[in-house]
Amino acid sequence: MSGADDQTLATSSSDDWTWLSRYTEARIALGRCGPGLPTSAHLSFQAAHAEARDAVLKPFDAKQFAADVTARNWPALAVHSRAVDRATYLQRPDEGRLLSLESEALLSEPRAPADVVLVVADGLSSRAVQVNALPVLEALMPLLAATGRRLSPIIVASQARVALGDHVGELLGASASIILIGERPGLSAADSLGLYLTWLPRRGRVDSERNCISNVRQGGLAPEDAAKQAAELIERMFLHQAAGVSLARLPQLPALDDGGA
């Protein structure tokens, strides 16, 4: 017999500096097998990517979401952008910024005037909306109602980009808009919601004219805190008749970060 029986088969080696991980969330000290990753690190990367991909690709159930909203006694309307499917949405941001002709007609029907329009949109993560949009609305709606400002029905939008809120706001003649939208998933979080606020939402607004509250999720910015920030921002916007960079120059206001949405 050779000595092979006594040997342990070579598999992976750990990196003996795992204590460095206390300083960063980065994937350090992963260990290795030859130049490759140990199987566990290799597969946990795949798991994180799979979660992000599924968050991007999973269709947004707008009807169900609108029903959940209506069940809380808030009126809701489901709309769709001009992007007919997910592949189009991903390649044609211009189509995701405009309402479909049918939705345009729906929002053009005569209705009560609104000061603030609220839009909930799938963006790049339908999962972010499914998980975090209702908790934000539950905290936000009472705060907005207390101001006495007239609110639009909650517009539930599919295949939508941030600027779809401008088209909605234009049709409803609103002074301000708040859009809750799924942010581009990262490997560490696939359910981050972003809130974008715009003064005089009209087609053609650019990103620097908005304020953004991002990374809204359990483990990030809590939905209740995001709602509080949004309500405060809305009051400042009505006070200064402005939003975006000019408003962000005031202390304590977040600057815009599009996040790819």
Partner 1 sequence: MGFSHTLGGTSYRFDDLRTLLAKATPLRSGDVLAGLAAQNAAERVAARMALADLPLRHFLNEAVIPYENDEVTRLIVDQHDGAAFAPIASLTVGAFREWLLADTTDATTLAAVSPGLTPEMVAAVCKIMRLQDLVTVAAKCEVVTRFRCTIGLPGRMSTRLQPNHPLDDPKGVAASILDGLMYGVGDATIGINPASDDVDTMMRLLDMIEALRLASNAPIQSCVLAHVTTALKAIERRAPVDLVFQSLAGTEEANRGFGITLSLLDEALAAAESLQRCPAGGNVMYFETGQGSELSSAGHCGVDQQTLEARCYAVARRYRPLLVNTVVGFIGPEYLYDGKQIMRAGLEDHFCGKLLGLPMGCDVCYTNHAEADQDDMDALLTLLGVAGCTYIMGVPGADDIMLNYQSTSFHDALYVRKVLGKRAAPEFEAWLGAAGISDPQGELRFEPARLMPALPLLDAK
Residue 45 near partner 1 by CB under 8 A: yes
Choose, by CB under 8 A, the member of 186, 208, 218, 246 that binds partner 1. Answer: 186
Residue 12 near partner 1 by CB under 8 A: no
Structure tokens at 141: 């709606």
Ranges of H-type helices in the chain:
39-57, 62-70, 86-91, 93-96, 101-108, 126-146, 164-172, 223-240, 245-248
Helix, strand or coil for residue 176? strand
Choose, by CB under 8 A, the member of 114, 124, 128, 176 that binds partner 1. Answer: 124
Helix axes 126-146, 62-70, angle to 10 degrees: 30
Residue 56 near partner 1 by CB under 8 A: yes
Residue 10 near partner 1 by CB under 8 A: no
Residue 241 near partner 1 by CB under 8 A: no
- The nearest distance, CB 196 to partner 1, in angstroms, is 18
Helix, strand or coil for residue 143? helix
Residue 232 near partner 1 by CB under 8 A: no
Helix, strand or coil for residue 116? strand
Q: In degrees to the nearest 10, what's the CA dihedral of 108, 112, 113, 118?
A: -80
* Nearer Cβ to partner 1 (28/112): 28
Q: Whose structure tokens read 């581009």?
A: 184
Spatial strand order in the sheet of 210-216? 76-80, 151-158, 116-121, 176-182, 193-199, 210-216
* Nearer Cβ to partner 1 (32/150): 32
Q: Which stretch binds partner 1 (CB under 8 A): 76-84, 150-158, 183-191, 246-254?
A: 183-191
Contact call for residues 230 and 195 (beta carbons, < 8 A): yes
Residue 13: strand pairing partners: 32
Restricting to residues 61-120, which ones interact with partner 1 according to CB under 8 A?
90-94
- The nearest distance, CB 73 to partner 1, in angstroms, is 35
Say how many residues touch partner 1, by CB under 8 A: 41
- The nearest distance, CB 223 to partner 1, in angstroms, is 21
Radius of gyration over alpha carbons of the chain, in Å? 22
Contact call for residues 213 and 230 (beta carbons, < 8 A): yes
Q: Which stretch binds partner 1 (CB under 8 A): 25-33, 64-72, 133-141, 244-252?
A: 25-33
Residue 208 near partner 1 by CB under 8 A: no
Residue 245 near partner 1 by CB under 8 A: no
Would you tell me which residues interact with partner 1 (CB under 8 A)? 13, 15-17, 20-21, 23-30, 32, 34-37, 41, 45-46, 48-49, 52-53, 55-56, 90-94, 124, 184-188, 190, 260
